[in-house]
A and B are shown apart, each in its own frame.
Chain A
C-alpha cells in the first residue's frame, strides 16, 4: 500500500501502457479479438479505481501544496525530472479522465469492426498521455505528454473516423502542434531566464514559480508578455478559443464515438487547465493585461458557436459547435479572476466533459442504428425509443444549464464571477464587466434554442421516416454506460460542495497571485510557499 501511495501518479500513467502491451500480447498469442474489449475494459476500470485513491487521500498535501508528489530525475544534463503531483486544479480532471475511459470503451462494444487491437492500444496510450498532462509539474515533461496525446488521437480519427477523416486528422494534428511548439520555445527560454538570474537552469514548475514569487526571477520588458502569449496560443488552440476553433468541428465530427467523447471530455480541458495552471501563476501581469482579449474572444465563441450550432444539419456537428460555446464560458470565467468565476470555470470543465461526452455517446447510439446523423432523417423518435429520448432530453438540459443539473452550477458561478469582476474597465456610463456578463448570458438562451429545436425535430411529432419505425431502444449495456453520467449530472447539480471544496484552496491561490501580487515580487501565500 505504501508503494502504491508513494508512486500513485506514476502508476496511473504507466498502468494503461501496461494495458496496451498486454492487449498486444493477448492478440499475438491468443488471437481472440472478442476478448480484447474485456481486457481493455479491465485495465481502464482498475485504473479508475486506483484514481479514486486520489480522491480519498485529498488533504495530505506536501510542502508545495501538492498531493502524491513524486520526483524522479529524467535527463540530468538538462535538469528535467518526472515531477508529478495533483492539487485542486488537477485532481478532478485526472478522475474525469479515468472515469470517462471505461465508458468510452463500453461505447465501442459493437462499433469497432476493423483492427480492434490497434484501436484499443491507441485508446490506452491516449489515457496515459492525458493523465500525464494533468499531473506533470515539470514543464518539459508536461510538453512531452501534451504532444504525445496527439499521436493516438491522430490515429483514432484517421483510421476509424468518417469519410472526411484524413483531412480532419491532419488538421487537428498540425493546428495543435503549431501552438505547442511555440510553447516549447517559451519553455526553453524560461529555463535560460532562470539560469541567468538565479544560476540554476530548471524546467521545474514549482521551482520557477517560487523564484518568481520571491523575486529571484523577474521578467524584464516585454519578456513576460511574449512568454505568456506563447503559452496562451498553445492552450487557446487546444480549448479551442474563437479564431483557432476551426479544427474542432472537423475533428469531432469525423472521429469515432469514443474519440469524440474523449476529445470533448478530456482533450479540450488540457487547454483550459494549462491556462489556469501555467499562464496565470507564471505570468500574472500579462494575464491581467490580456484578460480583455480572452474575454472578448470567449464571448464571440459563445455567441458564434451557438449561432453556428443552430443551423447545423448534422447532430454531431451541432454538439461540436456547442463545445465551442461552452468552452467560451470556461474562458470568461477563468479570466474574470474572481474566485467564483474561476471555481465556476473549473466546475464547468467537468460539467462539459460529462454532458457533452454524454451527448456524443447518445449521438453515437443512434448512428450505430441508422448510420446517419442528419436531423432531417429523423423525427418522432420519442415514439419508437422512449428511453433514449428521455435520456437525451435530460442530457441536453444539463448542457443548457437547467437548475438542479450540473450545467447550471457552473454557468451560474461563471456569470456571478464575471459580474463581480474588476478586470474590465468601468466608466460612468458603462461597466464592461456587466456588459460582458449580459452578452455571455445570451449564450444560455441560444443553447436552449439550438438544443431544444434539435430535440423537437428529432424526437417529437410523428415518425416521418419509415426506416425509423423499427429501431430498437437502448440495450442494457447502453443504459448502463450512460447511467453513471446521468447520476453525476444530477449529483453535481444538487450537491457541488465536494468538488468546489477540493479546488477552493488552489483556485484561491491562483486568483490571489494574479490579482494581488504586483509583478511577482511579493511573496504571499502562493501554492508553492515553502
Chain B
C-alpha cells in the first residue's frame, strides 16, 4: 500500500501546475487588479485604468495567438484546463468584446461620472471569468468562472446608482442569476454523483456506465436550465429585456455579446464533449437524445419568441435584447449540429461554427450598441425608435453604419451575420436528419420575420422626416476606433471569412493530455 502514498507525496511536492497554460487568463486578472489598485490611489483619473485594461487585453490576445501557434504549454492542472480550439476561439471573442466595450463606454464614463477604476476592474474580472468558462475542462472551474463573471456583471448593471431602472436591472439579474447558478450547481452535483468525476473528459468516458443513469438525466436537465438562463434562451429568457433595458447601454452591449458567448462555450463543452453519444450504450443514448430534444425545443422557442416579441418593441435597447434572444436560438442550431455530428472532425467544425457565430454577433452587436450609446445621451434618454426619426441624412456616417449593423444582424450577404448564419446552419443540415432540416427551415423563416424590426430602424432613420430639432452628436475618438473596428470586422468577416473560419476550426498543435 505504499504506492498511493508516494503518488500523494509527489503530487504535493511537484503539483501538476502549469502557469503557462493559463497565462492569458492571468494577464487579464492582473490587469484588473492593477486597474483597481491604481484607482484607489488616483481616483480622479479616468483614462489610465482603461488604457491599462486595454494593454492587458492586448497582451492576452498575443499570448492566445501564440498558443494557437507554436507555443506549447505543458501540464494542465490535472486536466482541469482544456487546450483546444473551443477555448481559444471563444477566448478570442471575449477579449475582443471587452476591448470594444472599454472603447464604447468612454463616452458614458465621461458623461455620467462613473467610477472608472471600479468599472474597468469589474470588466476585467468578468473577462477573466469568461475565459475560465471557456478553458475549464472541469465542472468546478466552469462554475468558478461563471460566478466570477456573474458577480462582476451584477454590479455593472447597477453602476448607474441614481437611476431606478438600473437598480431594478441589477436586482433582477442578481436574484434570478443566483437562482440559475443554484440550478447549475445542483446539476453538477448530481452529475458528479452519477459519474464520480467533475472532469468533463472523465464524465464523457463514464457516461456509458454511470452509477445511476436517472441521476445523470436529472443533473443534465438542471444544467440545461442553468446554462439556458445564462445564454438567455426561451423559456429562460424572461429576465433579459428588463435587465438589458435598465443596464447602462455599454454594459448591455457587453452582456449581450460576452457573457452569452461564455455561457455558450461552457454549455457546448459540457454537453457536446461531456455527454456524447456512445455507440451501443443505451444510457448514453437516452442522455444524448434528451438533451438534443430539449435544446431543439429551446432553439425553436428562442428564435420564435425573440423575433415575434422584438417586432412589438418601441425601445431600441429592448428590441436588441429580444433580438439577442433570437440570436441565441440561431447559435443553438449550430450547437445542435455539433451534437449530431458523426465524426470528431465534423464535431470540431460545428463547435468552431458556434464560436464563429458568436464572433460575428459580438462584433455587429457591439457596433450597434456603440451608436445607441452615443445617441442615447445622458441616462440613456434617447433610446426610443422615435428618437431615431429622420436622422439618416443628418448624420449619414452614423446612420449608414448602424444600417450596416442591422443588415448584418439580419444576415444579409457580404456582412458578417450572413457568414455566421451559413456556418451555424451547415452542421445542422450536414446531419441530414429531417428534424434538424426542419429546425433550419424554422430558423430561416424566423430570419425573414426578423427583417421586419431590423429594417424598421433603417426605415425610421431614412424614410421618415424629422419634425423636431436634432443635431448630430460629436463622435469621440474612442468610439470612432470602436466603430471602425466593427465596420471593418463586419465586412471582413462577411467577405474574407475564410481565414478566420480556418483558424477557428483548427485545433492548436499540441492538445494537452486530459489527465
Residues of A near any B CB (own CB < 8 A): 74-78, 115, 118, 140, 143-145, 147-148, 150-151, 154-155, 158-159, 165-166, 169-170, 173-174, 177-178, 181-182, 184-185, 188-189, 191-192, 195-196
Please determine whether B462 and A188 come into contact, CB atoms closer than 8 angstroms. no
28 contacts between A and B (CB under 8 A): A75-B501, A76-B502, A77-B497, A78-B501, A140-B422, A144-B418, A145-B413, A147-B412, A148-B412, A148-B413, A148-B414, A154-B458, A155-B462, A159-B463, A166-B463, A166-B464, A170-B456, A174-B448, A174-B455, A177-B451, A181-B448, A184-B425, A185-B425, A185-B437, A185-B444, A188-B425, A189-B429, A196-B432
Q: How far is the CA of A324 from the CA of B508 in the complex (A)?
A: 57
Q: Is the interface of B mostly helix, strand, loop or mixed?
A: helix
* Binary contact readout B409-424 vs A (1 if CB under 8 angstroms, 0 otherwise): 0001110001100100
- In the assembled complex, B452 has its CB within 8 A of some CB on chain A: yes
Q: Is B287 an interface residue (CB 8 A)?
A: no
Interface residue? B498 (CB, 8 A):
yes
Rounded to whole angstroms, the CA-CA distance of A185 and B464 in the bound complex is 35
A166-B463, A181-B444, A192-B429 given; name 11 further pairs at CB < 8 Å: A77-B502, A144-B414, A147-B418, A148-B414, A154-B455, A170-B451, A170-B455, A170-B456, A174-B452, A182-B444, A185-B425
Shortest CB distance A127–B (Å): 16
Please measure, in the bound complex, the distance between the C-alpha atom of A188 and the C-alpha atom of B407, giving whole angstroms. 21
Does B440 touch A at the CB level, under 8 Å? yes
Closest to B501 in A: A77
A78-B426, A154-B455 as given contacts; A185 in contact with B440, CB under 8 Å: yes
Q: Is B445 an interface residue (CB 8 A)?
A: yes
A143 and B413 contacting across the interface, CB-CB below 8 Å: yes
- Would you call A189 and B437 a contact (CB within 8 A)? yes
With both chains docked as a complex, state the minimum distance between the C-beta of A80 and any C-beta of chain B, in angstroms.
9
- Contact, CB under 8 Å: B462 / A185: no
- Which residues of A have CB within 8 Å of B419? 75
B304 near A: Cβ within 8 Å?
no
Q: Nearest residue in B to A183 (C-beta to C-beta)? A: B444
Cα(A148)–Cα(B413), bound, Å:
6
B contacts, CB < 8 Å to A: 393, 396, 407, 412-414, 418-419, 422, 425-426, 429-430, 432, 437, 440-441, 444-445, 447-448, 451-452, 455-456, 458-459, 462-464, 496-498, 501-502, 505
B419, B441, B456, B502 interface centre (most CB from chain A within 10 Å): B441
Q: How far is the CB of B338 from chain A (nearest CB, A)?
A: 15
Q: By CB atoms of chain A within 10 A, which of B437, B458, B505 has the most? A: B458
A76-B498, A147-B412, A159-B462 are contacts. A185–B451 as well, Cβ < 8 Å?
A: no
- Assembly CA distance A147 to B412 (angstroms): 7
Q: Which residue of A lies closest to B432 (CB)?
A: A192
A29 to chain B, nearest CB (A): 16
Q: Contact between B407 and A151 (Cβ–Cβ < 8 Å)?
A: yes
Chain A residue numbers with a CB within 8 Å of B441 are 182, 185
Among candidates B425, B448, B459, B462, residue contacting A177 with C-beta atoms closer than 8 Å: B448
Q: How far is the CA of A166 from the CA of B455 in the complex (A)?
A: 10
* Chain A facing B: main interface SS: helix
Taken together as a complex, chains A and B put the C-alpha atoms of A188 and B423 apart, in Å, by 10
Task: Please give the distance in Å from B388's CB to the nearest CB on chain A.
Answer: 14
A479 vs B432: C-alpha distance in the bound complex, in angstroms? Answer: 58
Nearest chain B residue, comparing its CB with the CB of A188 = B429
Closest to B460 in A: A166
Chain A residues whose CB sits within 8 angstroms of the CB of B430 once the complex forms: 192, 195
- Residues of chain A contacted by B425 (CB below 8 angstroms): 184-185, 188
Contact indicator A170/B459 (Cβ below 8 Å):
yes
From A77, A166, A184, A192, residue with most partner B Cβ within 10 Å? A77
**B residues near A148, Cβ cutoff 8 Å:** 412-414
Take A165-B463, A174-B451 as given contacts and tell me if A75 and B497 are in contact as well, using a CB distance cutoff of 8 Å: yes
**Assuming the A-B contacts A76-B502, A115-B393, A188-B429, are A178 and B459 also in contact, with contact meaning beta carbons closer than 8 angstroms in the complex?**
no
Q: A185-B444, A192-B429 are contacts. A166–B451 as well, Cβ < 8 Å?
A: no
**Bound form: Cα–Cα A30–B487 in Å:** 26
Q: Using Cβ atoms and an 8 Å threshold, which residues of chain A touch B412?
A: 147-148, 150-151
Q: Is the CB of A169 within 8 A of B451?
A: no
Q: Give Cα distance in the complex from A188 to B430, angstroms.
A: 8
Bound-state Cα–Cα, A144 to B418, Å: 9
**Nearest residue, chain B, Cβ from A184:** B444
Nearest-neighbour CB distance to chain A for B472, whole angstroms, equals: 16
CB-defined contacts of A165 to chain B, threshold 8 Å: 463
Nearest chain B residue, comparing its CB with the CB of A150: B412
**Which residues on the A side are within 8 Å of B444 (C-beta)?**
181-182, 184-185
Query: In the complex, what distance in Å separates the CA atom of A184 from the CA atom of B429?
Result: 11
> Quick check: A173 and B440 within 8 Å, CB to CB?
no
Complex: chain A residue closest to B495, CB-CB: A74
Please give, as numbers and ranges, the residues of chain B lying within 8 Å of A140 by CB-CB distance.
Answer: 422
A77 neighbours in B (Cβ, 8 Å): 497-498, 501-502, 505
Q: CB-CB < 8 A to B505: which residues of A?
A: 77
Q: Is A181 touching B429 in the complex (CB atoms < 8 A)? A: no
Q: How far is the CB of A462 from chain B (nearest CB, A)?
A: 41
Q: A115-B393, A188-B426 are in contact. Are A181 and B437 (CB under 8 A)?
A: no
Q: Do B426 and A173 touch (CB < 8 A)?
A: no
Nearest neighbor of A155 in chain B, beta-carbon distance: B462
CB-defined contacts of A196 to chain B, threshold 8 Å: 432
- Residues in B whose Cβ lies below 8 Å from that of A151: 407, 412
Given contacts A147-B412, A154-B455, contact A74 B463 (CB under 8 A): no
CA distance A195 to B462 in the complex (A): 44
Bound form: Cα–Cα A35–B456 in Å: 33
User: How far, in angstroms, from A189 to B464 measured CA to CA in the complex?
Assistant: 40
A204 to B452, CA, bound (A): 32
Check if A181 sits within 8 Å of B502, measured CB to CB: no
Which chain A residues border B456 with CB–CB below 8 Å? 170
Closest Cβ of chain A: how far from B389's Cβ, in Å?
12
A71 to chain B, nearest CB (A): 16
- A405 CB to closest chain B CB (Å) equals 39
Residue with the greatest number of chain A CB neighbours at <10 A, chosen from B444, B452, B496: B444
B463 adjacent to A158 (CB under 8 Å): yes
Residue on A with the closest CB to B506?
A77
- A184–B407 Cα distance when bound, in Å, is 17
Set of chain B residues within 8 Å of A178, measured between Cβ atoms: 445, 448
Determine which of A74, A145, A166, A184 lies in contact with B459 in the assembled complex, contact meaning CB atoms within 8 Å: A166
Residues of A with C-beta under 8 A to B458: 154, 158
- C-alpha gap A143/B440 in the complex (Å): 17
**B455 x A173 contact (CB < 8 A):** yes
Set of chain A residues within 8 Å of B440, measured between Cβ atoms: 185, 188
Residue on B nearest A223 in the bound complex, by CB: B432
Considering the chains assembled together, what is the distance between the CA atoms of A77 and B497 in angstroms?
9
Question: Once bound together, how far apart are the Cα atoms of A144 and B494, in whole Å?
Answer: 11
Cβ–Cβ < 8 Å partners of A74 in chain B: 498
Which residues of the partner chain B approach A144 to less than 8 Å between Cβ atoms?
413-414, 418
Closest to A73 in B: B498
Give the residues in chain A near B393, CB-CB below 8 Å: 115, 118
A448 to B498, CA, bound (A): 55
The CA of A178 and the CA of B430, in the complex, are separated in Å by 22
Q: Which 7 A-B pairs have the closest CB atoms?
A: A181-B444, A144-B413, A178-B448, A75-B498, A158-B463, A77-B501, A147-B413
Closest Cβ of chain B to A270, distance in Å, is 14
Q: In the complex, how many angstroms separate the beta carbon of B399 from the nearest chain A beta carbon?
A: 11
Query: How many Å from the CB of B105 to the closest CB on chain A?
Result: 31
**B333 → A minimal CB distance (Å):** 11
Chain A residues with Cβ under 8 A from B452's Cβ?
A: 170, 174
Contacts of A189 in B (CB 8 A): 429, 437
B393: nearest chain-A partner, CB-CB:
A115
Contact A173 B451, CB 8 Å, known A148-B413, A181-B445: yes
Q: Which residue of A lies closest to B425 (CB)?
A: A188
- Compute how far the CA of A173 lies from the CA of B497 in the bound complex, rounded to whole angstroms: 26
The CA-CA distance from A169 to B425 in the complex, in Å, is: 28
What's the minimum C-beta distance from A191 to chain B, rounded to whole angstroms? 8
B413 partner residues in chain A, CB cutoff 8 A: 143-145, 147-148
Residue of A whose beta carbon sits closest to that of B349: A77
Complex: chain A residue closest to B411, CB-CB: A181
